[in-house]
Structure 1
Amino acid sequence: MVMVLPTYDEALNLAWIVGRLHAAQPGLDVLVVDDQSPDGTGEIADRLAAADPRVHVLHRSAKGGLGAAYLAGFGWALEHGYDVIGEMDADGSHQPEQLHRLIDALPGADLVIGSRWVPGGSVVNWPLRRELLSRGGNIYVRLLLGIRVRDATAGYRLFRRSTLERIDLDQVRSTGYVFQTDMVSRTLHAGLVVREVPIEFVERVRGESKMSGAVATESLRRITVWGLRERRDQVRRGLASRRRPPPPT
């Protein structure tokens, strides 16, 4: 099993979060995907990897978005034969001490999501405006895409290898924060099982957040365009199936 950690300017957090991961799950491998962080995060990752065979580093040439970093990390993990591939933030928002909740839910599931918005889930140190934005955004996603996942934008996840192979990562085009919703939708459309478990999401205490109101608004705009296109295609598929002659008896 490997956890993919995308990083950009996480020098204050990287060694801290990797240490917590290995304290919570000693047998876990970690892949740091760094987008040429100007604060030296990549160099810290290299030092961690040199000192610990459980840590690996993938350097990307430029900052290309969260989804692009995850796709690169997933591709690396598949090439290296991992059967379970996870994702989480490198800033401490996703607590390594709760990773066992996702692992325990993996039997019988193809994708497990650590969810803020199922019973038992929560957020810490978020202003009301941000909580309402996240809750409202997820309600909008459920209505627009017709899915039941309550936290489709969450980034604490475990994928089975077979799930990522079934999705066909080469066809995933989303690169920003909408990537999380895209992956949930693709998993469900493939007929696979998505399970949510409650987590406590803690707002970062070190470094600067990459999420802003502008980023969230842009993500919702992209979800709207993508979701309306998907609904249009669903209608077309439904009409096409009605036109087909019944199979011979």
Structure 2
Amino acid sequence: MTSDRASAASSGDALGRVVMVVPTYNEVDNLAWIVGRLRVAEPDVHVLVVDDNSPDGTGKIADELAAADEAVRVLHRTEKGGLGAAYKHGFRVALDAGYDVIGEMDADGSHQPEQLHVLLDALRDADLVVGSRWIPGGSVVNWPFHRELLSRGGNLYVRLLLGVRVRDATAGYRLFRRTALEAFDLETVESTGYVFQTDMVTRCLRLGLRVREVPIEFIERIRGDSKMSGQVAVESLRRVTTWGLRERRDQLATRWRRR
């Protein structure tokens, strides 16, 4: 066992039971590949696949993986409800199952299971760990310039408007302690799309929880179609703007009352 793997094993032991929630929609070419890599990289980490009724047979592949490995479980949802809705469902099931650490990971291979030990180690003194592309040591592979510009610009907008210090608030490779998720009512989280990631980071910071970023190498998918679109980006921008303006309004109202 290498020193990195030994470190990951010891941190996993100290953290308790760990599960990675993996939402899927039309990932038939990727799911078995990524789950297999995760089970090899971190044998003690469980997997919860949340499939949004994929028409391409992803759900069937997930069932086959679960039948062959007791550490893999599948939730079948009846419709494509969005990334945030899938994560909320998975989080509730994982909390009810008693997991101590609940993580997020994409099914397309962009989040490398072999780097999960870095997040596990960082969680020893944090409540939420974010695998970041935009801090020193982080990187992206095979992204066109406009995609990187969109992500960097979106995160800058989030920092300026919401006042959060996290450099990659939109990142989807992360680990929560169960106590972090229990600190607020998941039912009050209304974000169902990709802006869910920003929403969750912001809520943790507002509650004074310890949020850490660690660098990861993000690799653009090589199979299947990305779920990110211009419409998704516009919706995220709209929601962040609404939150930011509401917060500025509340701050001004508080200052006025103090006069």
Question: TM-score, normalised on structure 2?
Answer: 0.91
CA deviations on 1:27-67 (whole Å, 9 max, x unpaired) are 11000000000001011111111110000001111100000
Identify the residue that residue 41 of structure 2 maps to in structure 1.
24
Segments of 5+ residues of structure 1 without an aligned counterpart are 244-249
For residue 130 of structure 1, the aligned residue among 140, 147, 153 is 147
Q: In the aligned structure 2, how far is the partner of 1:232 from the partner of 1:2?
A: 39
Alignment of 1:58-207 (within 5 A): 58-207=75-224
User: What is the aligned partner in structure 1 of residue 74 from structure 2?
Assistant: 57
How many percent identity over aligned positions? 75
CA 1:28–1:225 in 2, change beyond 3 Å: closer, same or farther? same
The question of whether the paired residues in 1 share the 8 Å contact of 2:27 and 2:224 is answered with yes
Partner Cα separation in structure 2 for residue 205 and residue 161 of structure 1:
33
Instruction: Please say if 1:233 is aligned against 2:250.
Output: yes
Distance 1:87 1:142 in 2: 22
Name the CA distance, whole Å, in 2 between partners of 1:238 and 1:107: 38
SS in 1 for 2:79: coil
* Other structure's SS at 2:126 match: coil
Structure 1: distance between partners of 2:125 and 2:255: 30
How many residues are aligned here? 242
Q: 1:5 aligns with which of 12, 22, 38?
A: 22
For the residues of structure 2 that align with 1:62 and 1:235, how far apart are their CA atoms? Answer: 41
Counterpart Cα distance in 1 of 2:112 and 2:54 = 23
Distance in 2 (CA, whole Å) between partners of 1:235 and 1:53 is 53
**Do structure 1's residue 219 and structure 2's residue 219 form an aligned pair?**
no
> Could you tell me how far 1:230 is from its partner in structure 2?
2.5
Q: What is the RMSD computed on CA atoms of the aligned residues? A: 1.1
Residue type of the alignment partner of 1:201: F
**1:237 shift after superposition:** 3.9
Q: Report the TM-score, using the length of structure 1 for normalisation.
A: 0.95
Q: Which amino acid aligns with 1:182?
A: D
- Give the aligned partner of residue 209 of structure 1: 226
Q: Does 1:38 align with 2:55?
A: yes
Structure 2: tracts of 5 or more residues without a match? 1-17
